[in-house]
Amino acid sequence: MQEAPLNLILLFPEDFTDQEGRVRLSGRRLKHVLDVHRASLGDELCVGLANGNIGTGRVTRLDEQVLEMDVLLDHIPLPALPLTLILALPRPKVLRRVLRSVSSMGVKKIFLLNAFRVEKSYWDSPVLGPESVREQLVLGLEQSRDTILPEVRLRPLFKPFVEDELPGLIKDTLPIVAHPVASAPCPRDVKRAVTLAIGPEGGFIPYEIDKLVACGFTPVQMGERVLSVETAVPALISRLY
């Protein structure tokens, strides 16, 4: 029997057959098992139930049409990262990569926010559709062997969100906003919950920074290098935790 691949196959309730503990898969996950895992009958794969436990699946049928496994889900999922991410909506291609990245890092609460430098057309992108967002989150979970789907909320109005909703969200957390010209460095190895706000390419404008500071945020920076959004997001999260 071959060693189990490192990533996880995420299962959903509809994957289970009438036979107890048996799942039947096709489509993307079947292709992944054939092309990447290169599994054979009797092999054991790492599996997990969406928003549930992790375990193993023993392959009982595998061909070009279907994969069947008998699964045992006997381990709790990885702990979530105690971080709420508030992200100015990036370009659609970048958003896909960022969603996958933060999902794999254990972020479970994500707010996509409008800002002055966010192009209006981004809000009309099909990448923001529920199925497209879910696809990237699932891919991130599979990569990191996690099962708990992050929650993604859209906030297309900056001022009402910051004034009405954000004060409650940051309660009992360390609220920080990434800002290239901030004087304070981003803290390291924080031992508490964090609310992290990251602006668009070019950063939040002064008005937006002032509103966030008035809400309780502290501007922080990562050094003299100016990072792209898709680089800054994992870099900041890794530094915080």
Q: 3-class SS at 81?
A: strand
Looking at per-residue pLDDT, the higher value among 166 and 3 belongs to 166
- Per-residue pLDDT at 165: 98
Q: What are phi and psi of 182, to 5 degrees?
A: -65, 155
Decide if pLDDT at 239 tops 80. Answer: yes
Quick one: pLDDT band at residue 224, thresholds 50, 70, 90?
confident
β-pair partners for 109: 84, 151
Segments of the chain assigned to CATH 3.40.1280.10 = 81-240
pLDDT tens digits, residue range 154-209? 999 999 999 999 999 999 999 999 998 999 999 999 999 999 999 999 999 999 99
Q: Which CATH superfamily is domain 81-240 in?
A: SPOUT methyltransferase, trefoil knot domain (3.40.1280.10)
pLDDT tens digits, residue range 75-94? 999 999 999 999 999 999 99
Segments of the chain assigned to CATH 2.40.240.20 = 9-75
Q: 3-class SS at 175?
A: strand
User: Is this prediction's pTM over 0.95?
Assistant: no
**What's CA 101's distance to the chain center, in Å?**
6
114, 71 contact by CB (below 8 A)? no
- Per-residue pLDDT at 3: 53
Q: Is 223 exposed, middle or buried (0-12, 13-18, 19+ CB in 10 A)?
A: exposed
196, 86 contact by CB (below 8 A)? yes
pLDDT tens digits, residue range 132-145? 999 999 999 999 99
Quick one: pLDDT band at residue 221, thresholds 50, 70, 90?
very high
The rounded mean pLDDT for the chain is: 95
Best CATH choice for the domain 9-75 from the list 3.90.1150.10, 2.40.240.20, 2.40.10.220, 1.10.760.10: 2.40.240.20
β-pair partners for 151: 109
Q: Could you tell me whether strands 67-75 and 22-25 are parallel, antiparallel, or unpaired per DSSP bridges?
A: antiparallel
209, 219 contact by CB (below 8 A)? yes
162, 197 contact by CB (below 8 A)? no
**Cα distances (Å, whole numbers) of residue 95 to 15, 120, 125, 173:** 28, 15, 10, 25
